[in-house]
Amino acid sequence: MERRSKTRALSSLAAAALLALLVSACGGGDASDDASGGGGQAGNAQPVALTQEQLGELPDATTFGNLKGAPTDPSPDDTSASENGTGTVLHPKQAIAVYDEPGGDPFAKLPRKQISSPTWVPVIEERGDWAHILLPARPNGASGWVYTGQDAVETATNDFSVLVHRDDFSLEIREKGEKVGEWTIGIGSDEHPTPKGRAYIIASIEEQVNDYSPIVLPLSSHSDSHETFGGGPGTVGIHTWPDDSFVGKANSDGCLRVTKEALDELVKLPLGTMVEIV
């Protein structure tokens, strides 16, 4: 997968207004069934058949969603992406159902787009024709299984990752485990902390409302202190700031504030790139 992400420019005021809502909170068992892709009975299970009407009735797995009861990330503190790269990422060619386990019950649908960008999600486990993915909805760490057979998805390999150390106010871009860039950043305040765990870049949006950042990179995680903020879902994002007063400080509403130099490199990363926050 190419490092430089494709241009995702927004041409409508409606999309720009959506961005304002999204980032408004940032202003102030078996070995045979493991991640190696061993099949097993579960891996060979067929998905529950759904009509288009039934699929349409499922809640969307987007940054606006709240998928209560969704399986949780089994390894939220895993930082293997910083050592090996994000790995396999997946794009649904059309809206597909998300299941609680291979061959299990559907509880959501993954749309072809997230905001204005094509949906790309990281795969954290594979079992035959099933992929365990991280979802961009609440609660943080929500996950689910999608069926990858029948040419339903496109996959790629993503060699990049982002590692954030909150205690050190540092952000690193890594390629196959090698550090290719590091910057001092700003993080969430004690009252509105930046959520810990593994998230990923869900979109790249050209800012047309505020002037503090030319591009904003929304993540799959959400603020734990802002259920909503300014009418938006409290999505955590990566963006710049009008000046460098944020550097090395914990004073945002949960977002990661970065320098212009850092943002210039971050926007080149493919969608679905894992962001590990420790």
**Greater model confidence, 129 or 6:** 129
Residue linked to tokens 């992406």: 81
* Cβ contact 278:166 at 8 Å: yes
Residue 255 appears among annotated catalytic residues: yes
Q: Which of 199, 192, 193 is nearest to 218 (CA)?
A: 199
The pTM (predicted TM-score) of the whole model is 0.87
Annotation marks residue 26 as catalytic = no
Domain architecture of the chain: domains with CATH: 13-27+159-277 (2.40.440.10), 31-78+87-158 (2.30.30.40)
CB neighbour list of residue 79: distance below 8 Å, 6 or more residues apart: 163, 198, 276, 278
What is the percent of the chain where pLDDT is above 90?
78
Q: What is the pLDDT of residue 36?
A: 37
pLDDT in tens, 35-93: 334 445 678 899 999 999 999 999 999 999 999 999 999 999 999 999 999 999 999 99
How much of the chain exceeds pLDDT 70, in percent? 83
| Residue 242, both tokens | 């009008």
The CA-to-CA distance between both ends of the chain, in Å, stands at 26
**Higher pLDDT, residue 71 or 28:** 71
Q: 132, 192, 226, 239: which is the annotated catalytic residue?
A: 239
The Cα-based distances of 69 to 125, 141, 161, 206, 225 in angstroms read 19, 11, 28, 33, 20
Given the residues 26, 192, 226, 255, select the one marked as catalytic. 255
pLDDT of amino acid 212: 82
- Is pLDDT above 70 for 189? yes
Which range (10-14, 77-81, 208-212) has the least confidence?
10-14
Does the pLDDT at position 157 exceed 50?
yes
Per-residue model confidence (pLDDT) at position 50 = 97
Amino acid 113 reads: K
